[in-house]
Amino acid sequence: MACSMRAVLSLQARPNIYLQNHHRHRQSLAKFFHANLWSGKNRLRKCLVPTTVASASLHTGNKMTYTKSAAYGDISNENGISCSEKDQQQRQQHQKIKVQNPVVELDGDEMTRIIWHRIKNKLILPYLDLKIKYFDLALPHRDLTSDQVTIDAANAIKKYSVGIKCATITPDEARVEEFKLKKMWLSPNGTIRNALGGTVFREPIIIPRIPRLVPGWKEPIIIGRHAFGDQYRAKDIVVKGNGTLKMVFIPEGSNSEDVEQEIDVFKFTNGGGVAQTQYNTDESISGFAHASFKLALAKSLPLYLSTKNTILKKYDGRFKDIFQEIYCKDYKSDFEGKKIWYEHRLIDDMVAQMMKSSGGYIMALKNYDGDVQSDIVAQGFGSLGLMTSVLVTPDGKTFESEAAHGTVTRHFREHQKGKETSTNPIASIFAWTRGLVHRGTLDKTPEVITFAKTLEQACIDTVEIDGIMTKDLALACGKSSKEDFVTTNIYLNAVESRLENSFRKISLEKLNDQ
């Protein structure tokens, strides 16, 4: 299929998907609030803004009960989950938006864990009747359960289809010593990705007020990262002397179509070195292709697969061939109907063109390439704290959302000293909202989708319109004085205020229409 990057560079601004559906969603939410919450103007604010936050039912769905990690203290008490019987009775008087099916919550580590609980108790639970299947993935608890909690969490996501994850620590040698771990546990993200399969899509949260390090980027660049195999499932060794490195494949069964293969990889003659073997599967690559094509159609954006098939002729060439075969067989006519396209490009050429483009496309990348490029794109759009990350399986049903950044250890050290921090919570909020959007889509509950999108808009408007932002965003704007940024709690309070005002406005508009 003939296609050039020039088409991407000349793309006109595309209508925001949120704005396209905004009126329909507002009508849905207004109908809900009018039917369930309106009982006089003087009571509206009480209905929309409970004086105390509500708690969720925490379920594990497993034989083992996972409690909050003692390493971080009793966060539930600190952030107001615990409450008096009178408060509980008062909450029950307020009708919330019903979420039909549970979501799986995966708790995390350090500063993001602290903020995670504040978000849940301030912006989620007061508004939603939500059942949560809770798993504590804090590093001490993973160690306590020998990482079984991570496996059980992945199985729960398979069962309930939606996982919402806080950032977690992947231990290195220093962390093993710090936490006195039994062993250096694997990345929980990697464990979950390998259990679920699918593709990780990372998309920037665009706030016009925040300058871009790449000024030409006007539209989102979505990175699709193949979440299986390659370096992340590789086996490597240190070679300490001279010798021959071989790679061997032994087929199973007498009826196998393949034959035994043995390749001489390298002959070490001047001492030791290192070696690595890695792999991928046709099944996983095919799933990657289907997920990428489906997202491109859903977003009405062109798709580019980028590899280095000129060097890795068989390995990367397999990605290229499978994508092309699936595109021609299953998606070409739909792409042409939407006037979008699919094309394979060499990774080095694609990255160079990416820097010159205005955005507005999806890049499908292998595991390592996607890992690196997603951080580059996030920083190019303004901040690592402005990037969503979702894992989607090929069938489009199973879904996990998380913040694309880490646990913000440096801020956590300040928090441990009793100091306030200015940590950006936006990506963690969007982890909740993107999970809720998918939950609402599966359950066919538009009021849940509208709630999530309204919360997202409140986050953006707090920065864009009100000028209230955390330190990282202020620095991106070239401002560094204390007057230019606020603490995390102040930002969350401002978002909460916008959220409740949005709901009040929707209900008043509905009342006036009648």
Q: Tell me the pTM.
A: 0.77
d(CA 298, CA 441): 13
Per DSSP, the three-state class of 15 is coil
* Structure letter (DSSP) for residue 381: T
Is residue 28 one of the residues assigned to a domain?
Answer: yes
Q: Choose among 406, 372, 390, 368: nearest CA to 171.
A: 406
Q: How far is CA 458 from CA 57, 258, 401, 497, 501, in A?
A: 26, 57, 19, 9, 10
How are strands ordered across the β-sheet holding 57-59? 57-59, 131-136, 103-107, 162-165, 399-403, 387-392, 199-204, 221-226, 361-365, 303-307, 342-346
Number of domains in the chain: 1
Please tell me the predicted confidence (pLDDT) of residue 271. 87
Q: How far is CA 266 from CA 85, 211, 241, 270, in A?
A: 71, 49, 13, 12
Is residue 136 one of the residues assigned to a domain?
Answer: yes
Is residue 235 one of the residues assigned to a domain?
Answer: no
Helices (H), 120-160: 139-144, 148-160
What is the residue-level pLDDT of the chain in tens, covering all 514 positions? 444 333 333 333 333 433 344 445 545 554 554 444 433 333 333 333 332 333 333 333 333 333 445 555 544 433 333 333 443 444 444 579 999 999 999 999 999 999 999 999 999 999 999 999 999 999 999 999 999 999 999 999 999 999 999 999 999 999 999 999 999 999 999 899 889 888 899 999 999 999 988 999 999 999 999 988 899 889 999 999 999 999 999 988 776 677 889 999 999 998 899 999 999 999 999 999 999 999 999 899 999 999 999 999 999 999 999 999 999 999 999 999 999 999 999 999 999 999 999 999 999 999 999 989 988 998 888 788 899 999 998 888 999 999 989 999 999 999 999 999 999 999 999 999 999 999 999 999 999 999 999 999 999 999 999 999 999 999 999 998 999 999 999 999 999 999 999 888 766 665 566 5
Is residue 247 one of the residues assigned to a domain?
Answer: no
Please tell me the predicted confidence (pLDDT) of residue 383. 80
User: Tokens 């998606």 belong to which residue?
Assistant: 331
Q: Domain range holding 98?
A: 5-211+382-513
Direct distance between the N- and C-terminal alpha carbons of the chain, in angstroms, rounded to an integer: 54
Is residue 418 one of the residues assigned to a domain?
Answer: yes
The domain that holds 61 is classified in CATH as 3.40.718.10
Is residue 324 one of the residues assigned to a domain?
Answer: no
Please tell me the predicted confidence (pLDDT) of residue 180. 95
DSSP-assigned states of every residue in 482-498: GGG---HHHHHHHHHHH
Is residue 350 one of the residues assigned to a domain?
Answer: no
d(CA 124, CA 118): 9
What number of residues does the chain have? 514
Please tell me the predicted confidence (pLDDT) of residue 511. 55
d(CA 195, CA 2): 37
Structure tokens at 102: 């549970």
Is residue 200 one of the residues assigned to a domain?
Answer: yes
Structure tokens at 469: 């932002």
